[in-house]
A = this chain, B = another copy of it.
Amino acid sequence: MRTGNINRMQNLSKNQQIIFDLIDKSPEPLKAYAILFNVQKKGIKAPLQVYRALDKLVEIGKIHKIESRNAFIACHNSSCQVSKATAFSICEICEKVTEISSVGLSKYLANFKDKDGMKYNKYNLEFFGLCKKCR
C-alpha cells in the first residue's frame, strides 16, 4: 500500500482503466475499433493497445466478449471476478445485450454432463430473440 498508483491497486493499468471506463459507461457493447477511435485522444493510438487491454480485461472478468457480435460489455454480475461462465440475451432487432445472472441456469450448466460424462466448468451461452421494446 506504499504506491500512490490507485490504478495498480485495482489491478488495472492505465490503458486497461481507460478502456474499461469507456466500456463500463456504454449502454451497449462496443467493438474494438469503436473503442480505438474513442480513446485516441487519450493517447491509445494502435489496435494492438486496445486488444491487449481487452484481452486482460476479459481474462480478469471485468468485461465479456459477445462472440456473435465481436463486441465487449462490462461484467454486470458483481459476483464473477473471473469469467468462466457467461450467458447473455441479445435482441435481434435493436442489438441490446443483457447479461443473464440466473443461479438456476448457471447451476444447470455447471453440472451438465455430455454423453461421455464430461463436465465443463467454462461456457458461453448467447440467447437470441426480441427484447421487450422490440416485440
Contacts and interface: CB of A to CB of B under 8 A. Distances in A.
Nearest to A100: B114
Given A67-B67, A68-B67, A108-B108, A116 B132 contact: yes
Interface of A: 67-68, 89, 98, 100, 102, 105, 108-109, 112, 114-116, 118-129, 131-132
A114 to B, nearest CB: 6
Nearest to A67: B67
* Interface residues of chain A: helix, strand, loop or mixed (majority): mixed
Contact of A129 (B121, B124, B126, B131): B121
A127 B132 contact: no
A112 B112 CA distance: 15
A67 B112 CA distance: 21
